[in-house]
Amino acid sequence: MRNLHDFIIPQRGASCLCEIDGRTYYSENSYDNISAYTLAVETHPDIRITNDLIHPVSSGDEGRSLFLTVDVPFVKQLTQVYYEHGLLETLHTASTHSKFIVSKTALLALKVIDLFQKAQLFFNPNIIYNGISTINECSQTRNWISQSVRCLSWHPYSCLIAVCSIDDSVRIYSNTNNANHLLRCKQQKNVTCLAWRPLTNGELAVGHEEGVIVWSIDPHSLVVRPSISNAVILYKVNHRPVISITWNPRGDFLVSAAACDKSIYVWNVELNRCSTLKKPSGSGNTLVKWSPTGDKMFTASNGIVFRVWDCKTWESERWTVLSGRVQAACWTSCGTHLLFATTSEPLIYSLRIKSNAVFTSDFESSNDQAVPLFDLTKIELNGTCVGGLVQTMEIDPTGNNLAVIFQSTNAVALFNIAKKPSIELIASSLITDCDEIPTTISFQQNFTSGACLTIGWSNGRIQHFPIIYSDLSNNLNNSNINNIVNNTNTIPSFN
Amino acid sequence: MQVNQPNLSVTFTYKDLLFRKLYNAIICSVISQILILQLCMVIIKGDPLYPSSWCTTIFNTVTSFTTWLYVIPHITIIFAQCLICAKDYVLSSNFCSTRFKKILSVFSLHNLVLLSLHSLVGVLQVWLILSLTGGDYKGVTKRIDETSSVLVEETLFLLIGGLWIGMYFFVKVYMSDKHLVFPVIHQKKLTQFKSNVMSLLKSSFKQAVWPCMYFIMFYYCWGLEIKRNFAYMFNLQIQNSYNSKVYFYHWLFAALIFFNLNLIKLFFSLFLTEPSEFPLVKPNQNVLTLQESINLDKLPIVQSLACLDLYFLSLWCPFRRQILFTLSQPGEHPHNWNSLIEAILKLYRSYIEILDKSTENLNDKSILQVNSLIHCQNNIPKFRNLRNMSSPYSTPESPKMLDINRPYQNTTTSENRSENLLTAFQNKLSNTISILKTITGINYIFGEIPQASIQQCLSNGHLIIWSSQGLSELICASLKEDRYGVVQKDLPGVISTLVNLNQVLDKLNRFPALSRRIVGSDNYNYKMKNAVSSSLKRSLFHICNTFRNYLSEIPLSKEVSSYLQSTILVKN
């Protein structure tokens, strides 16, 4: 099996700029600029999430300190508490009242609520939710809790990129417009994922702690701060925290998975209706990915089980990993293979997906095992650590490149994917940016000269890393690959 | 090339299709009722401390002749109820444009029969369980000695309660919502049933709370009267030993009745919304093709299933797509495709027509307002020689334009003056009558409900959603699969119609109820309008994106292409 020794590490302090025809270019000093090598990303938005951009988190209590406390009648006080903090807090306040009957009634009500919650927990243990630590654990973003860039997503047809920062505001940058749209509302808290709706001009689904908000944006409108009335809010009781969302390639359905909910919901967004996908596996789900061809969908639970759904009949194939859970996964562009990595082994596996086409090749018969493709065991190259467990991975729309972020090391590994005769990963380049940590990645969807990987770094910089083929007809999958040695072993641990 | 469709049934009529579905739904409903009844008895009679005796009781109850003797009338009524309900689910509901017609339609014989059947089901269910399980509430009367009997008030309460719940369900749930809801994704029926049944049980318990309250209040006020009259009629004595546990039982019975009736509804929607495959080729008169079904207005369910089938075939069936793209032998005409596109465009045109008619009044008003504004401006003498170019409504032929070369001449004669007076009087009279109508409420009852036809249209919005998406998918697939180019000739027509439909839907935004979300209401119409509009836009986008490089070669009118450029296509 191939391993990370195939990579060449850039010199310390050098940052990677681009890859042109298989050769990586670095900047040794600050004068070096990407425009010296290529103009493909010249008009791309230059983004840096600085502290000035980040809105301070407000709890809504700032105004309170300006006012003196006054004695108000008890009923009025209760009404105020009810409007500001809800029923539970009202009961707590009422229980401190001097009148015996009032306090006792409130205490009784509190006890009943407590008992009811306990009974609910007994019947449905998966509703225990530990707040944002769960999100941090399951998220595709590295150090989700503290990084200034939380997620990135490129528009499928134009040069628009949505960036979510730590203050949960989503900004949309474009190559033509200087005014960036800002999507922000009270309900949008702890954003975990973004997904543009296919076959539309500007509809963005934002997955957050309590549900999903689907914003409609006119990228060329002068209104840069659309109101929540332009959005559809999708919410289900106990469906939280929403950790992964995906659209089907026709843009009809949105699928949402929550880390503490067994059910996966398939939404019809406009009608605000949903169907449930429910199969026994784990106590929640961490990842959903629709295949680019639209006929399969991958879902990973927070246990050892993951499933591949057939989107015509909505029946699923059940797969298990030996230990841990699936941390990252992505489909190849043709939808025939699924690449994934788990939380327990530093390996990338490939899984050939059965297709229901009538005249398929005889590949199908040996289809019950996942094949380890690349060993990512942590190694040291020129004093720099690379590899380890995978945080997230992405494949570009042409299906030629795979980018991987690791959980504990700071280089982004870039692989070429060769599909003939069987799927192979070939080490391409390692992208580093001094000592910065990569937090999230996304490939541009409409990049014509090859592929463009966008990386969010821990210092708030968003880097566009173009991978350019000067002769597009002669890329890796169309040429004969002579130097690939087929040395993969099947591991019988998957069933 | 001749492609023969596999398993081409010799006869395939809507009767076959619906009969199979309804038959299954009714059988499942009846069987489920028996099972629920048995289950209830098992639970009520159960004694967990003595499992062996429990088992024998279960066995005795299930196999005893009396049980089945009691069950048969209940099952017969359920069967009759299902049969009559089936008509509601399958046939199109009458379109009522005025409130008066709506009220009249409520008091139809059909509804009356259903109401009595529903209430009968309610009473029977309570009576069956009470009498089969035995105990204190076995009968309405209890014999105390040889000659006299005493009224068991609790049983009476529960039975009347059952009657009320049956009626309540019919009026509140059944009448208000006869729509079959198609699921978002079409899973297996058993999976759907499993995922729905628990939530149905929970919601039934919740739904039953309010009607129980109403009934308890009613009984509190009028109970004594009922009790006395009943006792008097049957010459019974009255005992004053009313047990308040009975309220709880009433709630349980109400929940059970709600659950049973909801379950029947669930079975209907499960079976009727299951996708069916329609034939695409018509070998003889007895075959109902997909193309014909799309325009089958009188059976909306068949229409919906046909559109759904079109959507599925466009996504998943390359073989069936190929049937549409082939030419007939002999003759080499794309009959299959032609009939399909004709059917879909007919559906869209009828939609456009209805929506156009509904928004017409609105347009007139706005145009009049604009024109009056223009005239005000034109009266300013300084700019009299300038034609107003900003008005989209003032064409050169417009009679409202002032010809400045021929100054306005006063040609009013005495004849004209009298005519003017007459028209003014007529106007005044009609105004007074309309005000009177509004004040007395005649307009409210007999006048046309605003947007009634729009609502009727939007309630069938899913037809447009599925057919437009299916059509766009077919057209996009044709780029690679259509070797004879049968789709190409219809491309301009399809794009123009989709754009037209979208523009008509955009006009609906002028209605306040359809342009924004109203907090607290379900606003189905608002959501459906958005869903239809969004799916049309996506379909157009899909077509334009796939035919990106050839778009300039498609002959489209200026208006349509500018709409595509401004709203649909991505500007880079």
Distance from CA of B528 to the nearest CA of A (A): 6
In this complex, the residue of A200, A252, A314 whose CB is nearest that of residue B537 is: A200
Question: For residue range B354-413, what is the model confidence (pLDDT) as tens digits?
Answer: 888 887 766 554 444 444 444 444 444 444 444 444 444 444 444 444 444 444 444 456
For residue A158, give the nearest of B469, B537, B572 by CB distance: B572
Mapping DSSP to helix (H, G, I), strand (E, B) and coil, where does residue A247 land? strand
Tens-digit pLDDT profile for residues B480-517: 998 888 998 899 999 999 999 999 998 888 777 777 66
Arithmetic mean of pLDDT, A152-168? 92
Contacts of A251 in chain B (CB under 8 A): 538
Q: Which of A260, A341, A340, A332 is nearest to A296 (CA)?
A: A332
CB A248 within 8 A of CB A256: no
A350-391: per-residue pLDDT in tens?
A: 998 876 544 444 444 445 678 899 999 999 888 888 999 999
* pLDDT exceeds 50 at position B138: yes
CATH 2.130.10.10 placement within chain A: 2-54+133-474
A-chain CB neighbours of B188 within 8 Å are: 313-315
Nearest residue to A168 via CA among A216, A217, A209: A209
Distance from C-alpha of A20 to C-alpha of A140, rounded to nearest angstrom: 28
At B448 the pLDDT is 74
Is A130 within 8 Å of A278 (Cβ atoms)? no
Share of chain B above pLDDT 70, in %: 86
Please choose, from the candidates A207, A268, A260, the residue with its C-alpha nearest in 3D space to the C-alpha of residue A237: A260
* Sequence-separated contacts (24+) of B375-382 with Cβ below 8 Å: B375/B400, B378/B402
d(CA A348, CA A387): 11
| Mean pLDDT calculated for residue range A291-311 | 92
Q: Which residues of B touch A200 (CB under 8 A)?
A: 534, 537-538, 541
Nearest CB to B469; choose among A252, A269, A278: A252
Q: What percent of chain B has pLDDT over 90?
A: 35
Q: Is A365 on the interface with B (CB under 8 A)?
A: no
Residue A360 main-chain phi, psi, to 5 deg: -95, 160
Please tell me the total number of residues recorded for chain A in this structure: 495
- The predicted pLDDT at position B393 comes to 42
CATH superfamily membership of A2-54+133-474? YVTN repeat-like/Quinoprotein amine dehydrogenase (2.130.10.10)
Cα four-point dihedral sign A388, A392, A395, A396: negative
The pLDDT value recorded for residue B518 is 62
- State the smallest CA–CA distance between residue B219 and chain A in angstroms: 30
Q: Phi and psi of B105, rounded to 5°?
A: -65, -25
Tens digit of each residue's pLDDT (9 = 90 or more) over B158-168 = 999 999 999 99
pLDDT of residue B395: 42
Q: Which residue of A199, A229, A312 is in closest CB contact with B538?
A: A199
pLDDT at A485: 34
Of B297, B298, B347, B333, whose CA–CA distance to B536 is shortest?
B347
Could you report the predicted ipTM of this complex, rounded to two decimals? 0.86
φ and ψ of B150, to 5 deg: -120, 150
In this prediction, residue B378 carries a pLDDT of: 43
Could you identify the residue written with the tokens 């002769």? A471
What pLDDT was estimated at residue B376?
Answer: 41
**Which range among A479-483, A484-488, B71-75, B335-339 has the greatest average pLDDT?**
B335-339
Q: Which residues in chain B touch residue A295, judged by CB atoms under 8 angstroms apart?
A: 316
The answer to whether A43 faces chain B, any CB pair under 8 Å, is: no
| Cβ atoms B171, B122 nearer than 8 A | no
| A272–B538 C-beta distance less than 8 A | no
Contact A150, A141 (CB under 8 A): yes
Chain A to chain B Cβ contacts (< 8 Å): 74
pLDDT computed for residue B332 by the predictor: 84
Please provide the distance, in angstroms rounded to a whole number, between the alpha carbons at the two ends of chain A. Answer: 20
Check pLDDT > 90 for residue B464.
Answer: yes
Q: Tell me the C-alpha distance between B395 and B379, whole Å.
A: 18
CB atoms within 10 A of CB A109: 16
- Of B469, B541, B572, Cβ closest to residue A159: B572
Angle at A387 between CA A386 and CA A388, to 5 degrees: 135
Of chain B, the end-to-end C-alpha distance in Å amounts to: 42
Residue B474: strand pairing partners: none
CB A415 within 8 A of CB A427: yes
DSSP type of residue B565: I
Q: Tell me: the pLDDT tens digits for A105-129?
A: 889 999 999 998 888 777 766 656 7
Residues in chain A within 8 Å Cβ distance of B315: 250, 294, 312
Question: Is A230 within 8 Å of chain B by CB?
Answer: no
Q: Do B538 and A273 touch (CB under 8 A)?
A: no
Burial of A336 (0-12, 13-18, 19+ CB in 10 A): buried
Q: How far is B33 from chain A (nearest CA, A)?
A: 26
Residue A57 tokens read as: 């988190």
Mutation for testing the B interface, residue in A43, A253, A276, A296 having most B CBs under 10 Å: A276
pLDDT of residue A96: 81
Provide the pLDDT for residue A426: 92
Looking at chain A, the whole-number percentage of residues with pLDDT higher than 70 is 88
For every residue of B414-469, DSSP letters joined together read: HHHHHHHHHHHHHHHHHHHHHHHHHHHTHHHHHSBPTTHHHHHHHHTHHHHHHHHH
Phi, psi dihedrals of residue B152, rounded to the nearest 5°: -90, 105
Q: Identify the residue whose tokens are 């766009």.
A: B472
- Token pair for residue B229? 């009259």
pLDDT of A360: 41
Residue of higher predicted confidence among B129 and A97: B129
Give yes or no for a contact between A254 and A245, defined as CB atoms under 8 angstroms apart. Answer: yes
One-letter amino acid for residue A342 of the chain = T
Q: Considering only CB atoms, which residues of chain B are within 8 Å of chain A?
A: 181, 183-188, 191, 195, 312, 315-316, 469, 473, 516-517, 527-528, 530-531, 534-535, 537-538, 541-542, 545, 568, 570-572
